Structure 1
């Protein structure tokens, strides 16, 4: 497996690690997303402990307004974080 394929599998595994807490492997509840943000992106996203920040991120990701973040919606967060990290690397 290539390095990129390993990283993609890692993203999928992280999503599943947090999505299984309420029994649905394909979606994250707001609480599950909060835990993921706290443990996996605390150094990247500011104020992950702040309820307003989590609410804003969750509402921005929940495109179909079903009160769940599915994997496709989650990839929006991953893409946004990657874009910002890429921009920051070029500013160094």
Structure 2
């Protein structure tokens, strides 16, 4: 579990490139490169942009770590409920 947490944090930090949040392009790249196997429409810029807007609770046009973790939690919950 420690390794999984380190990976989740590391992916965000690498994608954010030293910033506190992910801009649109960085979020697009993260979704496309890291989530293409468990999410549909990762190649659709419009779909990913809508997802980003849905996560952007403070409406600053970026996805911060807390907002990113909501996505991770949602995906983990979805995977858990889809297992037999």
**TM-score tier (shorter):** over 0.9
**CA distance in structure 2 between the partners assigned to 1:7 and 1:73 by the alignment:** 18
Structure ID, larger Rg:
1
Q: Does 1:71 align with 2:65?
A: yes
Match of 1:9 in 2: 6
Which consecutive residues of structure 2, in runs of 5 or more, have no partner in the other structure? Answer: none
**CA distance in structure 2 between the partners assigned to 1:31 and 1:17 by the alignment:** 13
* Structure 2 counterparts to residues 1-92 of structure 1, below 5 A: 4-20=1-17, 23-24=18-19, 26-90=20-84
- RMSD between aligned alpha carbons? 1.0
Count of paired positions: 84
> Which consecutive aligned stretches of 4+ in structure 1 deviate over 4 angstroms post-superposition?
none
Q: Deviation of residue 72 (structure 1)?
A: 0.3
